[in-house]
Structure 1
Amino acid sequence: MYVFVYGTLTDPERVEAVLGDERYEFDGTATLEGLHRVEGRYPTLAPGGSVDGRLLEVDNVGLERLDRYEGVDTGLYVRVGVPLADGEQTVRVYVGRPDRLGVAGRVEWPEGSSFAARVRAALERSNGMVHRRE
């Protein structure tokens, strides 16, 4: 399965440190439409625009390790699915809570019952999608 990475996980040494002996592969560059990168203690995303990154292919164990690294269980980041432009797959994307990451300025998310629901709503409104780049 694919994960779209746009921050610390674009660095192969960081990925190796997080995933250890787990199998993974970078599978080219991509652009996520519908969200853009903002800076805080760690990079995260906000509604609108686009962000360039890489596609990282992992298995279920690798995804669990990435979830731990991103703090999904503590609510620091959420993992959402975004369609790949070829229509064949869903790409996983981690989005951090701006209020917990010290992002300067206000980030406006649509209303929703949870942060993950608000991220999904922003992606739906913008027809969010991941496009492979050559």
Structure 2
Amino acid sequence: MDVFVYGTLTNPAQVAQVVDSYTFVGAAVLEGLHPVEGRYPTLAPGGSVGGRVLRTDDVSALDAYEGVDRGLYVRVSVPWDETAESLGDDAVAVYVGDPDRLAVGDAVSWPGAGSLGDRVERYVATNEVTVRPTD
């Protein structure tokens, strides 16, 4: 699975502590979401953020690291932009943190009702959020 990483997991030494096997596919930009700082970094609607695409089969280890089961982050699927068709997977996983649980400094509002995962997925689907390789 391809995963867009924008925080601590851009560091190979950190990734090696989390998953057994991985490779970095290359640099990329996540269009449609921007970073916000808090106890841990997360994303908010609008803007863009640079990062890397990580390929691994050990998604359960990444979920555990990101605290998905504790509600700290949700994993959502973001499509590649049209220039990335040759990269294999149709989409890239992206971890988005719960701004209330991560004590972010900026006000972050995901529109709509429902769980954080539902609101983020709906935003991605309706606002041209994509991952674009930059290498």
TM-score by length of 2: 0.92
The whole-number CA distance in structure 1 between the counterparts of 2:40 and 2:107 is 16
The whole-number CA distance in structure 1 between the counterparts of 2:9 and 2:74 is 15
In the alignment, what sits opposite 1:81? 77
The whole-number CA distance in structure 1 between the counterparts of 2:106 and 2:49 is 19
In the alignment, what sits opposite 1:47? 45
Q: Is the 8 A contact 1:46 1:107 kept in 2?
A: yes
Q: Is the 8 A contact 1:112 1:121 kept in 2?
A: no
1:67-108 Cα distance to aligned partner (Å, 9 max, x none) = 000000011000000011234511000000011101013111
Secondary structure class of the residue paired with 1:116: helix
Deviates more, 1:30-39 or 1:106-115: 106-115
In the alignment, what sits opposite 1:123? 124
Secondary structure class of the residue paired with 2:101: helix
The whole-number CA distance in structure 2 between the counterparts of 1:2 and 1:80 is 12
Percent of residue pairs identical:
55
Aligned-CA RMSD value: 1.0
In the alignment, what sits opposite 1:6? 6
Note the C-alpha offset of 1:6.
0.1
Amino acid at match of 1:31: V
Note the C-alpha offset of 1:23.
1.5
Secondary structure class of the residue paired with 2:110: coil
Note the C-alpha offset of 1:123.
1.5
In the alignment, what sits opposite 2:66? 70
Runs (4 or more) in structure 1 with deviation over 2 Å come to none
Secondary structure class of the residue paired with 1:69: helix
Secondary structure class of the residue paired with 2:27: strand
In the alignment, what sits opposite 1:99? 100
Which of residues 22, 27, 30 in structure 1 aligns to 2:28?
30
Secondary structure class of the residue paired with 2:39: coil
Structure 1: 5+ residue runs without aligned partners? none
Deviates more, 1:50-59 or 1:110-119: 110-119
The whole-number CA distance in structure 2 between the counterparts of 1:25 and 1:125 is 30
